[in-house]
Structure 1
């Protein structure tokens, strides 16, 4: 039996050492300091001891109490509600059951594995099993212990511990007995890597200091939104904008707002549009008058007032008609005037060269053509029947071309003009009289069909 008790004691020491590194990160250590009472009576042993649990609470007759600090224990959480602890105690034995004895010294060292049923609650009951070594009057023996106890926690770290242990002795010279303890317990030793007051076990961000409201995660800008969910973690903002600020209060976060200091529209990235034309005021050349984006927010003008907008008006500075794309239409009266001028153009006899005295009438023709910049004309040459038909055809071609070239050299777009000679084929009068032949020798300028 002596060898068995020594072996048990050695195993308890090894078990305690082997579990010294196993822990729960939240307050894994517990130390209890208090007093103990030893009772040999209710153990079912022979007289002067009683039956098991007999007179269990007879404090005055059976309990041995040392009225001072007489027990200390240290335990460590090893996970899943289990803990391992070592306790030391001392006492003086004056009552051995119903008998009185001279003051005998009592020392005990015990190791216990406990299971706590309600960890994290105020009332925390537990059961334990273990063993130890007890000396009475300096004679020691090993014991097998069964423990029942209760922690009552006043806060996260301090509480009251009440415990009863049944200690069954392996040797005949040490009686089996109960040992009751009561003491103040302190839990400590939790790991808080980031130093924010929240232990790593409960800290969702154990490496970064944070606040309790976010389980240890930070809220750098203090806007009530933790950094991991904050789109602007360094600037205080609103929950509606995921923690981003909105200086102008238009519902567009400053980081996305192209006009952060002026309230605007979400559709325009936070910029205003006073006239509602879809062009931001900063880009709108007419911010108070609606207009298309293609015209920089301004309404299309109609400079000449002809009912055709300048963007569609091929003659924006000259009043025209809608049917002619804003350009003026050549009336019959204008056509007659042109040809009245054209018939007075003089050429050198038998040649295509224009006489200098025709410059004024050509200037009048140019002025009329410029009034109709969108219209195209054909310069037509005609002769009388004097001479060969071929000669007359060639002469009419040359004279028509000569007039066309004069007009283009003096401001008329060449793409608006064409020329053609008709020779003697289209007379307007009789070629039998000098007056008739003079009328047939002519240039006409007609609107191209």
Structure 2
């Protein structure tokens, strides 16, 4: 028996020595050394019922274990137990050596850096003094509490059920020290140095080991304002103008990036800065680029005393919705009138060249004629002409004036 104990002890030491050289930066290996108590051996096989004391603890007894992370929350553990149990009758107090070799699979309920509870299942072999070896099915729970990245306290309670009639079934409770190998963690933040972007400063897992003092999601080393939460390189921007407050000369007013966060000059006070205002000296509206709102004059729906005017958008010859409504009324009028013909004359503003404007004015006139023909008017009654920019009805050269000049006139002829 002493020879067997010696062989098992040497094997454990050699196993630990070999595996310490196989660790990597993720520290997959742990070893532990624990004291343990054997509990409730009265649950043993019938021929051993009541033979051993209910509680047994040996001061010199120990359990040594080595564990290897496999994947995710799963790891494997091998352990050797060497302790003693006392007899309960016939030579009461006589002590027997108990040796156990177990293999377990452990599932970590949590992968916290400080507290790791787990459940475990496995099998083992137990020798009690001169008894033959007994195979057992094992199940239990455990807890690892890490005081630093590499060192902690471990506890485990496991039930070993003998599968042989002559075997002993018992609970084994252990508590001891656990060591993690394979990677160092200078700042004890749970991230090994080789994976830690800030290895000497305690940080957050979500930020690869770097701190974030103001909790704005930007690490202090990349944060221009590490003590004030913000979204612009970690700095606040209370007026939301895209210029961080520390660089904003007007932090409480929405401004322009090119003007150090202050509003651009707006001489006419219409809310459109001079830089973007097409009418910087006249108060206008934002939707019209700072120019006054263009109010279209009511389109003429009668032909008796003055021409009917159809207005067009800049550089376009398409009839607007309002223009179509007016032409529908004109078509009805022509059908019931006695005029021998009508002149349809097209006009433009002075935005483009005179040649371009002349072509555009004629195109507008022809578009109006085509619309009336489509409404049932004889094409022989309609004569078209294009005058370009030659006859403006508003010479102020303002946007409102130009709008009036972009027109087609329908004039009845005797």
Q: TM-score, normalised by structure 1?
A: 0.43
For the pair shown, which has the larger CA radius of gyration, 1 or 2? 1
